[in-house]
């Protein structure tokens, strides 16, 4: 009898371990335990150091078990480029996570499977962002208009130390709102600020434990557990967007495009019967996604910019001198001025590299089986693109581990592009808002630096440059001190 139970137990243990083993010719990786996977080898609270160690041991292509999910991890510029650009058709899908499926019903752009409908939505959204100014003057004017409000807010602080995070988030979201539905919100508008909080809360929750539990354990999905908050927040934001769409429908004048929503509604009418993916549910999802993907990322980057300028006053001073010499007398900085400001342009790039805010990008998946680096990776495998490893790669950068604009300057002080600069990722899934984000960050940065000197207001501590690990890594909350340049 004992033998019987022993063999049953052994068989079950073997079965469990078999499920937590890798298919043939799969990228190698550490041994995994049933249920918890590589939890002991990879600290999920901040996996970056462990991922780096594993790359040293297994090479640039390896795999880990995140719980019961087997994930391929890609590291270093050559490998990432080879996958996302050379093998774009194989590596540009997204994993199908139940939590996103429930939120978006496979609509929108970000989480959408790699295929015709994704392409259609992405291309259309990109065209609209361009028509509402990218490449033309008006997006720039939109941003500069917002800069005026931002500067006014900073002036009103009147020399006090304050946490700049809320106002930066509001300013950044206003640029997207004004593009999407021709509206901006006062920085003190509590109803809208509440929406921004929900968006940012969902950003956190979606990368966290409860979302993962929802994905992994189907029988728990109906229970009143914290993941329901994700869906509640999402419904709330969508209801807000739905009202905006309905208002636009009512006041739509054919041929007159006030904003993104107007153009999209017209496209829906135009393509009603051609089997395309244009409908109001898609519009709703795209709006929610653009606001969600465009707000906290850009705002966080800009907070890093202020923190780094306080931590490196010499860099700040050099930027200021250059900005002043170029803008001298003009009321506004313009985006084109970046070409005449090699040092400042390099500093902005260095902020994006060093802050490295989306260190693991957005999860990818294989669209089909692929032979890669001598391994065979089956269809529907999750792929983690380690952008952090590219931004810290010792063969790519003069100063991989320190904040130094010289990473983007040559010996004669000219700006030089770097291939391994990938904060927006690369390939067909490259960030849709890259140009918008770059323009915003440059114009916010130069406009504020021109007017104020930022300094660290606390005598007893130094700026803390350790990031809080998350899908979008932010600095710890901080206050800024500012001195007006004009009065000094």
Ligand X SMILES: *[C@@H]1O[C@H](CO)[C@@H](O)[C@H](O)[C@H]1NC(C)=O
From the list 41, 73, 88, the residue with the least C-alpha distance to 360 is: 73
Among ligand HEM, ligand X, none, the one that 411 touches (CB under a kind-dependent 5 to 8 A) is ligand X
Cβ nearer to ligand X, comparing 394 with 411 = 411
Among ligand X, ligand HEM, none, the one that 412 touches (CB under a kind-dependent 5 to 8 A) is ligand X
Least Å distance between CB 117 and ligand X?
A: 42
Give strand pairing partners of 474. 468
Give strand pairing partners of 455. 481
Contact (CB, 8 A) for 454 and 309: yes
Q: Does 433 bind ligand HEM (CB under 6 A)?
A: yes
- Count the site residues for ligand HEM by CB under 6 A: 26
Site for ligand HEM in 181-240 (CB under 6 A): none
Cβ nearer to ligand HEM, comparing 109 with 409 = 109
* CA 107/CA 113 separation, integer angstroms: 9
Least Å distance between CB 299 and ligand HEM?
A: 9
Cβ nearer to ligand X, comparing 372 with 421 = 421
Least Å distance between CB 434 and ligand HEM?
A: 7
Those residues whose C-beta lies under 8 Å from the C-beta of residue 173, and which sit 6 or more positions away, are 185, 196, 291, 294, 295, 299
Q: Does 470 bind ligand HEM (CB under 6 A)?
A: no
Least Å distance between CB 415 and ligand X?
A: 8
Q: Does 429 bind ligand HEM (CB under 6 A)?
A: yes
**Max Cα separation, the chain?**
93
Select the residue interacting with ligand HEM from 347, 431, 448, 471 (CB under 6 A).
Answer: 431
Q: How far is CA 156 from CA 151, 160, 161, 188, 457, in A?
A: 9, 9, 11, 13, 18
Q: How many helices (H) and strands (E) does the chain have?
A: 17, 8
Stretch that binds ligand HEM, among 242-250, 293-301, 304-312, 455-463 (CB under 6 A): 293-301
Least Å distance between CB 131 and ligand HEM?
A: 14
Among ligand X, ligand HEM, none, the one that 423 touches (CB under a kind-dependent 5 to 8 A) is ligand HEM
Q: Does 386 bind ligand HEM (CB under 6 A)?
A: no
SS3 89: helix
Dihedral angle, C-alpha 455, 460, 462, 467, nearest 10 °: -110
Among ligand HEM, ligand X, none, the one that 422 touches (CB under a kind-dependent 5 to 8 A) is none
Among ligand X, ligand HEM, none, the one that 29 touches (CB under a kind-dependent 5 to 8 A) is none
Q: Which residue has the tokens 């739905």?
A: 242
* CA 150/CA 147 separation, integer angstroms: 5
Cβ nearer to ligand HEM, comparing 32 with 139 = 139
Least Å distance between CB 410 and ligand X?
A: 4
Contact (CB, 8 A) for 470 and 201: no
Among ligand HEM, ligand X, none, the one that 289 touches (CB under a kind-dependent 5 to 8 A) is ligand HEM
What value, to the nearest 5°, has the Cα angle with vertex 461 and ends 44 and 304?
Answer: 55
* Chain centroid offset of residue 456 CA: 27
* CA 103/CA 303 separation, integer angstroms: 29
Would you give the binding string for ligand HEM spanning residues 121-140, x where CB under 6 A is met? -x------------------
* CA 462/CA 449 separation, integer angstroms: 20
Q: Does 143 bind ligand HEM (CB under 6 A)?
A: no
* Residue 354 buriedness (CB in 10 A; 0-12 / 13-18 / 19+): buried
Query: What tokens were used for 209?
Result: 């434990």
Site for ligand X in 384-443 (CB under 6 A): 410-412, 414, 416
Among ligand X, ligand HEM, none, the one that 326 touches (CB under a kind-dependent 5 to 8 A) is none
Least Å distance between CB 348 and ligand X?
A: 18
Q: Does 323 bind ligand HEM (CB under 6 A)?
A: no
Those residues whose C-beta lies under 8 Å from the C-beta of residue 159, and which sit 6 or more positions away, are 482, 483, 484
Q: For the chain, how big is the Rg over CA atoms in Å?
A: 24
* CA 470/CA 355 separation, integer angstroms: 12
Cβ nearer to ligand HEM, comparing 198 with 327 = 198
Q: Which residues bind ligand X (CB under 6 A)?
A: 410-412, 414, 416
Q: Which residues bind ligand HEM (CB under 6 A)?
A: 109-110, 122, 176, 289-290, 293-294, 297-298, 301, 357-358, 361-362, 364, 423-425, 429-433, 436-437
């Amino acid at each position: 009898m004992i033998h019987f139970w022993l063999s049953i137990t052994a068989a079950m243990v073997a079965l469990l371990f078999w499920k937590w083993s890798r298919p043939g010719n799969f990228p190698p990786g550490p041994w995994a335990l049933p249920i918890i996977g590589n939890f002991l080898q990879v600290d999920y609270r901040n996996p970056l150091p462990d991922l780096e160690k594993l790359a040293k041991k297994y090479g640039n292509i390896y795999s880990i078990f995140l719980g019961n999910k087997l994930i391929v991890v890609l590291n270093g510029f050559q490998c990432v480029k080879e996958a996302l650009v050379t093998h774009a058709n194989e590596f540009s899908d997204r994993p199908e996570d139940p939590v996103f499926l429930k939120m978006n019903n496979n609509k929108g752009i970000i989480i959408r499977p790699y295929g015709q409908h994704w392409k259609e939505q992405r291309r259309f959204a990109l065209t609209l962002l361009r028509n509402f100014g990218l490449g033309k003057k008006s997006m720039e004017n939109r941003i500069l208009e917002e800069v005026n409000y931002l500067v006014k807010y900073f002036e009103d602080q009147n020399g006090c130390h304050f946490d700049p995070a809320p106002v930066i988030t509001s300013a950044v979201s206003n640029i997207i709102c004004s593009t999407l539905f021709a509206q901006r919100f006062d920085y003190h508008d509590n109803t809208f600020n509440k929406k921004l909080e929900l968006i940012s809360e969902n950003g956190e929750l979606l990368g966290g434990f409860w979302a993962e539990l929802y994905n992994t354990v189907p029988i728990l999905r109906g229970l009143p557990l914290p993941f329901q908050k994700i869906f509640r927040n999402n419904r709330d934001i969508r209801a807000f967007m739905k009202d905006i769409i309905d208002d636009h429908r009512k006041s739509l004048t054919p041929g007159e495009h006030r904003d993104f929503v107007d153009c999209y509604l017209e496209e829906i009418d135009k393509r009603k019967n051609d089997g395309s993916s244009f409908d109001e549910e898609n519009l709703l999802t795209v709006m929610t996604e653009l606001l969600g993907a465009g707000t906290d990322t850009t705002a966080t980057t800009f907070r890093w910019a202020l923190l780094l300028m306080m931590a490196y006053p010499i860099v700040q001073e050099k930027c200021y001198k250059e900005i002043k010499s170029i803008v001298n007398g003009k009321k506004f900085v313009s985006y084109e001025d970046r070409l005449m400001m090699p040092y400042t342009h390099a500093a902005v790039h260095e902020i994006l590299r060093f802050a490295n805010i989306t260190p693991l990008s957005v999860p990818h998946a294989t669209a089909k089986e692929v032979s890669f680096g001598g391994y065979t990776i089956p269809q529907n495998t999750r792929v983690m693109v380690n952008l952090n490893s590219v931004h810290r790669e010792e063969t790519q950068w003069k100063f991989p581990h320190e904040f130094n604009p010289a990473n983007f300057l040559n010996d004669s002080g000219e700006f030089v592009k770097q291939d391994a600069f990938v904060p927006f990722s690369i390939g067909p899934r490259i960030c849709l808002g890259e140009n918008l984000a770059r323009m915003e960050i440059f114009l916010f940065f130069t406009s504020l630096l021109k007017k104020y000197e930022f300094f660290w207001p606390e005598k007893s501590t130094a700026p803390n440059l350790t990031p809080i690990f998350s899908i979008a890594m932010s600095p710890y909350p901080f206050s800024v001190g500012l001195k007006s340049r004009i009065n000094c």
